[in-house]
Structure 1
């Protein structure tokens, strides 16, 4: 039986391989951005600390 973490790493590795197999010119900017966002989502699922830190970047900066 595979652990959920092992399955998550496998999904991440597959997604990275799929992106690499597509080649640099095969995807439009929107598709490329969507796939990279999907990769980050998989990484965040594997490491909640990364997700917590990423949320800090989503906050508006104080003006001043």
Structure 2
């Protein structure tokens, strides 16, 4: 039985592997953006501080 943290890492690893398997050139831009956003969401679930940094960065850029 995996810990919740281990399960999150496994999902993140799987998402990265799936994106890598399709290759960046083979995906339409909207699907690529969707998958990258999903990966960021998984990272933020593992490291909530990264979500706060990302939000601050978006506010500064706008």
- TM-score (norm: length of structure 2): 0.89
Match status 1:42 vs 2:39: no
Q: TM-score, normalised by structure 1?
A: 0.86
Between the aligned partners of 1:17 and 1:61, the Cα distance in structure 2 is 30
Give the unaligned 5+ runs of structure 2: none
Q: How many residues align?
A: 62
1:59 aligned residue: 59
Larger Rg: 1
Is 2:16 aligned against 1:16? yes
The Cα of 1:61 is off from its aligned counterpart by 5.9
How many Å apart are 1:55 and its aligned residue? 1.2
More helix per residue: 1 or 2?
Answer: 2
Q: CA deviation at 1:58?
A: 2.6
